[in-house]
Structure 1
Amino acid sequence: MSIYTKTGDNGSTKLMKLQNVSKSDERIQLLGNIDELTSNLGLIKASSDNADIKNEIERIQKNLMTIMACIADQFNQQHKMNEAEVIHLEEEINRMESSFSRKNEFILPGQTKESAQIDIARTVARRAERWLAVVDRKFNADSGAKKYMNRLADYLYMLARYTDFMLSKKSDKETTFSTSIQRDRTDDEIISAVLQKLGLGNKNMTLSSAKKLIEKVEERAKEVGLNAVIAVCGPDGNPIAVHVMDGAYLASFDIAMKKAYTSVAVKMSTKRLGELAKPGETFYGIDKADNGRMIIFGGGVPLMAGDMMIGGLGVSGGTSEEDSHLADYGLEVLDKVL
């Protein structure tokens, strides 16, 4: 069955037992406002990591569904709002208010993202309450629903202030803890901790690590029967080490260094650059740039430590696919040599 029925194309809808009700009808306006409120509460519920708040919001959503049913079918006693739910909201308001010192002044919403969203829901609740008063004057509304909507706006106001208080308290604890740790650390330790946080640790490309990487790649080259030139450069594109295997092509020396340089210059593998350098693609013609230093076929890869580029690896000696295989193998063993 399709979600659209086309029955409302003429601007009318229906209530539980009434057909052809205008969409401008006060009851339809009220139902729309409560629906909007329920959706805003859903966003609060989905964003919260507090299980108690989630449960309370869901309880409110279910009560709003009951109120909506009562508006659509006002003479059905099963949809009347239970006084116990009003009392429950009052108890929750009192509990939150007693947990912190509330300032007796106008509050500007937006102290935190969480409370700002709750304040939006509060204003929608007030609007729904006003429409409920309009409906009550013309059609008579459930007295329990009127009480509940009034308390609900108060509850949401208090929940927003309570949320600001709890998040502020959490932030103060984290700041105090962080400060106490910083006092016990030397500058070197702090720098090291920041690098670890970024996933960099103390890794960098030195001559020693470059030689180890070249040795690993050479072992794989021998396994596949390839005589290659293996070059490693720093993040500035300058060569750190170049190794020429016996029997490697003379031209491979220059090509391997250019592959390492290119991978650093464009921050991607030369194989990927080759795909983007085809006619009509983003980097078409790049191989003519930078005095011909750019290589657009496989065998060059950037070397990364976390999110930081520490150098480039270039391999030349076989086909583009063979060189790419050796360069990719260098990436696999990089952590072992740093």
Structure 2
Amino acid sequence: MSIYTKNGDKGTTNLVHTKNVSKADDRIQLEGTIDELSCHIGVLKTMIRDGDTIRFLEKIQENLTRIDAGVADPYNREYKINDDKTELLEEEIDRLTGLFHMPKESSLPGACRLSAEIDVTWAVARRAERDLAAVSVKFGSDTGSKKYMNRLADYLYVLARYEEAEAAGQKTGTSKLVETDASSENTELHASGTEKVAGGSVSVDTKVENSLISGTSDSVDEAVIQAVLRRMGMQNKITLDGAKKLIGKIEQEALRRGKKAVIAVCGPEGNPIAVHVMDGAFLVSFDVALKKAYTSVAVKMSTMELSKLAQPGGTFYGVDKMDGGKIVIFGGGVPLKSGDTIIGGLGISGGTGEEDHSLAEYALSVLPEIL
């Protein structure tokens, strides 16, 4: 099927109930602005690391798609925006403003790259709201959509200020990353990256850096190291909590596909962290899933990729006979990475090698939300 139809070559297009509408029509302009706004939000999703915020932005995109559809088909009640969607925006605005000191005066865009990008998105949202108002005057529009667009601009403005505060280390609602027991040298790690110790303070980032370079961590608590690495957007090992969250997402996707599998997660050294057996999974899949996870970190590649290299004449031919039979060469195992660092391995067993590998690739796509 060709992507071009030539139907709009004369500068007209169609709405659901109206044919040959000029592309200069206010309704078409509004649809274009909404598309532009959703694209800007897509850019934000690539820049923001917080999984909850990314999912919230995705819900906004879904609502914008609904509003867009309502412009083309204004009599369809499925495209109306209910007040509960606007209330969710208000709740998120209230939550964010409780985490930092909201400036009383308007801020000039550009305090940091992310906030500047959000401000651009905010400006497009305000334009979309104005375009919607123009359409409402001439053709009428959904009242709920107008409320939602107005509150969306407010949310984006607050989100930009929040990101500025976070970049400047001025958040107040989540000031502590890690707090150790008071009897343990009365130590606290704050979001500023300073470890407060009785009698003085020292930069935790410096201590962690020295510890990582020297290969020792006796002088720095492991939880402190992990907290700093997470704040720096890094991680050197997937945690049990992270493994459980990842397994939960994989299980939901497996159920959607009608698959029953065993899902195993190991650390970067190959030791198991968590194994989950779905109802109805094959007994043999337990051992196979563990081996797939181990193999992925042992050879630092997916077991699907390894299977191609392990064919007769290949670089890794015979590798499955090594390491006491712990190496497997069929799909379903992938290394888990944070940046370029392998933080663990994932093994899935329950279907064909291709089916298991497809589930593993899905897991890699949702891994950033968990980290």
Q: TM-score, with normalisation over the residues of structure 1? A: 0.52
Residue 176 of structure 1 deviates from its aligned partner by 3.1
Who is 2:6 aligned against?
Answer: 6
Question: Could you say what secondary structure the match of 2:100 adopts?
Answer: coil
Residue 173 of structure 1 deviates from its aligned partner by 3.6
Residue 33 of structure 1 deviates from its aligned partner by 0.3
Q: Residue 193 of structure 2 contacts residue 204 of structure 2 at CA under 8 Å; is this kept in 1?
A: no
Residue 168 of structure 1 deviates from its aligned partner by 2.1
> Matches of 2:163 and 2:88 in 1, distance apart?
19
Question: Could you say what secondary structure the match of 2:17 adopts?
Answer: coil
Residue 2 of structure 1 deviates from its aligned partner by 1.1
Who is 2:202 aligned against?
Answer: 180
Residue 90 of structure 1 deviates from its aligned partner by 0.8
The AA in structure 2 aligned to 1:96 is L
Who is 2:124 aligned against?
Answer: 124
Matches within 5 A, 1:1-338: 1-169=1-169, 173=191, 176=194, 180-181=202-203
Q: Give per-residue Cα distances to partners, 1:253-277, cap 9 Å, x unaligned.
A: xxxxxxxxxxxxxxxxxxxxxxxxx
The AA in structure 1 aligned to 2:56 is E
Residue 166 of structure 1 deviates from its aligned partner by 2.1
Q: Give per-residue Cα distances to partners, 1:238-261, cap 9 Å, x unaligned.
A: xxxxxxxxxxxxxxxxxxxxxxxx
Residue 174 of structure 1 deviates from its aligned partner by 5.1
Unaligned regions of 5+ residues in structure 2, if any? Answer: 172-189, 215-371
The AA in structure 2 aligned to 1:97 is T
Residue 59 of structure 1 deviates from its aligned partner by 0.5
Question: Could you say what secondary structure the match of 1:58 adopts?
Answer: helix
Give the alignment's Cα RMSD to 1 decimal: 2.7
Given the superposition, is the C-alpha separation of residues 173 and 83 from structure 1 closer, same or farther in structure 2, using an over 3 Å criterion?
A: closer
Residue 82 of structure 1 deviates from its aligned partner by 1.1
Who is 1:252 aligned against?
Answer: none
Question: Could you say what secondary structure the match of 2:202 adopts?
Answer: helix
Question: Could you say what secondary structure the match of 1:180 adopts?
Answer: strand
> Matches of 1:119 and 1:16 in 2, distance apart?
33
Residue 183 of structure 1 deviates from its aligned partner by 12
Who is 2:368 aligned against?
Answer: none
Given the superposition, is the C-alpha separation of residues 127 and 177 from structure 1 closer, same or farther in structure 2, using an over 3 Å criterion?
A: same
The AA in structure 2 aligned to 1:19 is K
> Matches of 1:114 and 1:29 in 2, distance apart?
27
Greater percentage in helix = 1
Residue 12 of structure 1 deviates from its aligned partner by 0.7
Equivalenced residue count is 191
Residue 164 of structure 1 deviates from its aligned partner by 1.4
Who is 2:175 aligned against?
Answer: none
Question: Could you say what secondary structure the match of 2:159 adopts?
Answer: helix
Residue 159 of structure 1 deviates from its aligned partner by 0.7
For the pair shown, the structure with the greater C-alpha radius of gyration is 1
% identical equivalent positions? 46
Q: Give per-residue Cα distances to partners, 1:39-85, cap 9 Å, x unaligned.
A: 00001012211011101100000000000010000011111101100
Residue 181 of structure 1 deviates from its aligned partner by 4.3
> Matches of 1:14 and 1:182 in 2, distance apart?
61
> Matches of 1:166 and 1:37 in 2, distance apart?
24
> Matches of 1:97 and 1:175 in 2, distance apart?
23
Residue 151 of structure 1 deviates from its aligned partner by 0.3
Q: Give per-residue Cα distances to partners, 1:107-130, cap 9 Å, x unaligned.
A: 011111111111111000000000
